[in-house]
Chains A and B, each alone.
Chain A
């Protein structure tokens, strides 16, 4: 890099979104999903992306998400075409009774794993092709099938080496993704390799083996457990050690994610401009803690609501004048329809509430940490980027949706 570039201005990345704005989007989405039998999820996803994109301000100019809900809806129909043969195969398999059945399930599992690689790539393509900055579109080129194959073959190697090959797999996939990423007519480059992953990966692995192994060993050797039925329940010290292991797990996870993201993204360059990302593990760990607190708070709120509901039912049963008894309370639940409706409502409320907490802490936290931790050196060099041709029809998001591998 020339001396002029080294002296060049640093471009800042800011994130201007707030959690309560996101909360509004999610709550409105949940409410609208009920009358639309779930179809509003495509609109919900679009609104969430608009929120994340337009609040990410790079060197003074926000990103713009240009995708529409209708594209997601159509993409989902296309995904059905992929999924139907798998579905038929599973149906046929479930009616066979030979030793080949297990092999058949394995083959379908492998096919889904392979397809999810394709889906991940196409979903990234979909999002990048709908991302504008300074009026110029990003793009993901390369071949989604080649990516899926690469991911699939690496997975086999990782399984065969009992996980040791994972850093090589991760860096290989990162490099494929970034080397086929374009901003207008300018290509991304990435310099990071397996070394960026090896430290955090093996470090995290070793620490977890140590903490979990140590806990199990201590509980076993000190006989610090009671048998409840046939299930061993660790004693007070053992319980503390288990809790410690969970904390170690969460912290090493934060360390791994922030460490690898910082190292890999800091080797990304777009022509003369270079990206630098600095995120400390503590920042992500605090988001994890926030998530646990949010879930705990939520459980308390849900529990209190359920108690209030039971109290109301008890009062309703008692209002007949006679003292309430179990039969009177049960009488309210006589109708199967009410029960089923209750069950479904409770399930949806719990699922929705947990999704909400995860989105507000984990997803929001990770995005804003990434944005705020990033700087771009020599952003002025990007002024000469030209638009890279018109948008192709990319209907690649649906499969990711159907296989549930999409993010953001």
Chain B
């Protein structure tokens, strides 16, 4: 019961050829390491305290828990390896045990990470709600100002937005402010919404942290009724009321952290990181859109106008084509069909529904941003006219 090995004692950088002999008579059973020629004993390892180490093919490396960390018996060649495993049957058993310990550790870590991700997906909308309440409104207003400046610069190549009617006391601006104040009346929001109608060809409207909302002239021109305009405006005011801008800032920064952790790239610059963050963040923003729609329906009920104008307008502006359907997981707005159904479920028919704006107000609002005059037609060429 013995095998040939190379022996290192872990104290000095020397390797010597030895015979390892199992001493079953000893208590506990020991592995005697002896010089192959003189049979002189060099060391004696308790057999139960030996363990296997990872090594290349056709080699075994055996360590001992009772010796220095670097002490080794290295066994080469299939014959000697078989001998060693026969002499120390506990080695193979212990190797299997270690393998299972690794599997358990990996499974545990994965389960922990998975539960963090699940908790995050379902918890952050709730958490962001609570966290947002901790952000002082003054701070949020400042962040909104910054965001406004950044968005203005990026959308207009640094030229800044052009307000359709700079005069705050114009009929249209006063009507919009009256509507916004009425929508927020009695809700106890720390913000007083401020709506700016801005001249651009992008049909859009959005709200920023701190109570600012922008309505782009192209979207206004696409509105056919006062209720369409009021519906979208109420939707944006819903974002202001629920502080969605601030919420998404908090949520997206947490998402970046989580995705970075999963991928091991904390700089968050890899494509996988960006895609992952976008996917998760859109989950949150779709929920925010639904909340804002609900707010719009509520407002419509209170002020007595038809909320479905919101969907009419959005549908006209962004036609649901096959492509946008396919990409719907990436888009932040739920599909308009879905939204229409949800809105119709929310809105109770109003007996004495009247437009959100008076005829005079609506005509003033609609004329805030007249579309640029069409380019002049080429002069008709009259035959017989003298050539210039």
Docked Cα-Cα span, A343 to B271, in Å, equals 11
* A382 interface neighbour in B9, B13, B143, B150, Cβ under 8 Å: B13
Flag if B113 contacts A39 (CB, 8 Å).
yes
Could you tell me which residues of chain B, from 133 to 154, have a CB within 8 Å of some CB in chain A? 143, 145-147, 149-150
Question: Is A143's CB within 8 Å of the partner chain B?
Answer: no
Q: Mark B60-100, 1 if CB is under 8 A from A, else 0.
A: 01000000111110100000000000000000000000000
- Does B186 belong to the interface (CB within 8 Å)? no
Q: Range of interface residues on chain A?
A: 35 or more
In the complex, residue of chain A having the shortest beta-carbon distance to the beta carbon of B335 = A336
A residues within 8 A CB of B364? none
Contact of A91 among B13, B72, B253 (CB under 8 A): B253
**Bound complex: CA A64 to CA B55 (Å):** 7
A136 lies within 8 A of B12 (CB): yes
A64, A96, A351 interface centre (most CB from chain B within 10 Å): A64
> Can you identify 11 A-B contacts, CB atoms within 8 angstroms?
A39-B109, A39-B110, A50-B54, A61-B15, A64-B72, A84-B257, A97-B146, A137-B70, A339-B327, A384-B12, A403-B266
Question: Considering the complex of A and B, which 8 residue pairs feature the smallest CB-CB distances, nearest first?
Answer: A135-B8, A336-B329, A135-B70, A97-B146, A385-B13, A402-B266, A134-B13, A54-B56
CA distance A16 to B76 in the complex (A): 14
Interface residues of B in 17-58 (CB under 8 A from A): 53-56
Render A1-43 as a binary contact track against B, CB cut-off 8 A, 1 for contact.
Answer: 0000000000000001100000000000000000111111101
Q: Is the pair B15, A330 in contact by a Cβ cutoff of 8 Å? A: no
Residues of B within 8 A of A305 (CB): none
Known contacts A135-B71, A336-B325, A387-B68, then 14 further A-B pairs from the complex at CB < 8 Å, ordered by chain A residue: A35-B110, A50-B54, A62-B59, A66-B69, A69-B102, A80-B261, A132-B70, A135-B10, A351-B272, A383-B12, A383-B13, A383-B14, A390-B69, A403-B267
At the interface, yes or no: A217 with Cβ under 8 Å from chain B? no
Complex: A336 Cα to B330 Cα, angstroms: 8
**Complex contacts, A36 vs chain B, CB 8 Å:** 106, 109-110
Which residues of chain A have C-beta atoms less than 8 A from B61's C-beta?
64
Query: Would you call A340 an interface residue if the criterion is a C-beta within 8 Å of the partner chain's C-beta atoms?
Result: yes
Q: A37 to B272, alpha carbons, bound, how many Å?
A: 13
Using A40-B106, A69-B102, A80-B261 as known contacts, say yes or no to A336 and B327 having CB atoms under 8 A apart.
Answer: yes
Assembled-state Cα–Cα distance A279/B315 (Å): 67
- Give A354-408 interface residues, CB cut-off 8 Å to B: 382-387, 390-391, 401-404
Q: Of all chain B residues, which has the CB nearest A391?
A: B69
Binding site for A on B (CB under 8 A): 6, 8-15, 53-56, 59, 61, 68-72, 74, 102, 105-106, 109-110, 113-114, 117, 143, 145-147, 149-150, 249, 253, 256-257, 261-267, 271-272, 275, 279, 322, 325-330
Report A87 CB to chain B, min CB distance, Å: 6
Chain A residues lying within 8 Å of B150, measured Cβ to Cβ, are: 97
With both chains docked as a complex, state the minimum distance between the C-beta of B332 and any C-beta of chain A, in angstroms.
13
- Asked if residues A347 and B106 are in contact (CB atoms below 8 Å), the reply is no
- A302-345 residues with Cβ-Cβ distance < 8 A to B are 327, 330, 333-337, 339-340, 343-344
Contact assessment for A76 and B117 in the assembled complex, using a CB-CB cutoff below 8 Å: no
Taking the complex as formed, is A83 at the interface, i.e. its CB lies under 8 A from any CB of chain B?
Answer: yes
Contacts of A134 in B (CB 8 A): 8, 13-15
Q: Which residue of B lies closest to A344 (CB)?
A: B275
Let me know if A97 and B149 touch, CB within 8 A.
yes
Report the nearest B residue to A76, measured CB to CB. Answer: B264
Q: Which residues from B are CB-within-8-Å of A66?
A: 53, 69
Nearest CB of chain A from residue B330's CB, rounded to whole Å = 7
Task: Report the bound CA distance from A37 to B117 in whole Å.
Answer: 10
Nearest-Cβ distance from residue B295 to partner chain A, whole angstroms: 25
Q: Which residues of A contact B253 (CB under 8 A)?
A: 87, 91
- By beta carbon, the residue of chain B nearest A40 is B106
CB-based nearest B residue for A38: B262
**For B15, what are the chain A residues with a Cβ–Cβ distance below 8 Å?**
60-61, 134-135
**Scoring A residues 82 to 101 as 1 if CB is less than 8 Å from chain B, else 0, what string do you get?**
01100100010001110000
- Report Cα–Cα, A148/B214, bound state, in Å: 48
> In the complex the two chains form, is A385's CB within 8 Å of B12's CB?
yes
Min CB gap B66→A, angstroms: 15
A200 interfacial by beta-carbon distance below 8 Å? no
In the assembled complex, the Cα of A33 lies from the Cα of B379 at a distance in Å of: 70
Given A87-B257, A339-B329, verify A96-B146 contact (CB < 8 Å): yes
Residue of B nearest to A55 (CB): B56
Chain B residues, Cβ within 8 Å of A97: 145-146, 149-150
Of A35, A40, A336, which is within 8 A of B328 by CB?
Answer: A336
Q: Cβ of A241 < 8 Å from any Cβ of B?
A: no
| Cβ contacts under 8 Å, B6 to chain A | 61
